[in-house]
Amino acid sequence: MEILLATICGMTVSLMNILNGKLSAVTGTFLSLVVIHLTGLLAVILVLMVRHEKLTIKSGIPILAYSGGVIGVLTTLFSVVSVSKVGAASLTALSLGGQMAVSFILEHYGLLGAKQQRISLQKIIGLCVVIVGIGVMFA
């Protein structure tokens, strides 16, 4: 059951990238970002209402803590611009390469609250194999 749910997770992200890319083609990139985040926010509000959950915002939260959504806008922007040109599968593979590289750096230096973990040769080899795979996808 859990594997089925995890499968749905993966499929949802790919479908989301495709739909967002198609929306961007119709409305333009920047308006599509507004629509994407608006529908996402409305869905969150709906879930909160159904689950009778309340927002709990304490005082003294650093401003930086609010920047996740701003960075998320960049993620969405990069995805909608590139998905129609490289496709969802290549976007996923390239994104994975970026995720791995940044994760390794954050972990190696213990940045942004990441648990410090020195980069291993195995991780470097894994990243290199991913890069080779991406190269084959574009060959």
Partner 1 sequence: MIAIVLSILSGATIVLSRQVNGYFTKYTSASTSTFMNYFTGLISSIIVFIFYGISLTPHINVAKLTASPIILFGGSLSIINVFLLNILVSRIPPVALTLTTFTTQIISGMIFDYAFYGIFSPNKCIGICIVIAGLIISQMPATRSVYRSLTPGKSK
Q: Which of residues 109-128 bind partner 1 (CB under 8 A)?
A: 112-114, 122-123, 125-128
Interacting residues with partner 1 between 2 and 31 (CB under 8 A): 2-3, 5-20, 22-23, 26-31
State how far the alpha carbon of 11 is from the alpha carbons of 4, 31, 45, 59, in Å.
11, 25, 23, 38
Which residue of 49, 90, 109, 115 would you call a contact of partner 1, by CB under 8 A? 90
Residues from 48 through 87 that contact partner 1 (CB under 8 A):
48, 51, 53, 55-58, 60-61, 64-76, 78-79, 81-82, 84-87
Least separation in angstroms between residue 102's CB and partner 1 is: 4
Q: What are the CA-CA distances from residue 59 to residues 45, 63, 78, 137 (Å)?
A: 22, 11, 33, 49
Q: Examine residue 108 and tell whether it contacts partner 1 (CB under 8 A).
A: no
CA dist., res. 97 & res. 120, Å (int) = 16
Q: By three-state DSSP, how is residue 117 classified?
A: coil
Judge contact between 130 and 97, C-beta under 8 A.
yes
Quick one: tokens of 64?
A: 């930086």
Q: Tell me the closest approach of the beta carbon of residue 4 to partner 1, in angstroms.
A: 10
- Measured from the Cβ of residue 96, the count of other Cβ atoms closer than 10 Å reads 14
Select from 49, 97, 115, 117 the one that contacts partner 1 (CB under 8 A): 97
Least distance between partner 1 and beta carbon 52 (Å): 11
Task: In angstroms, give the least distance from the CB of 32 to partner 1.
Answer: 9
DSSP 120: -
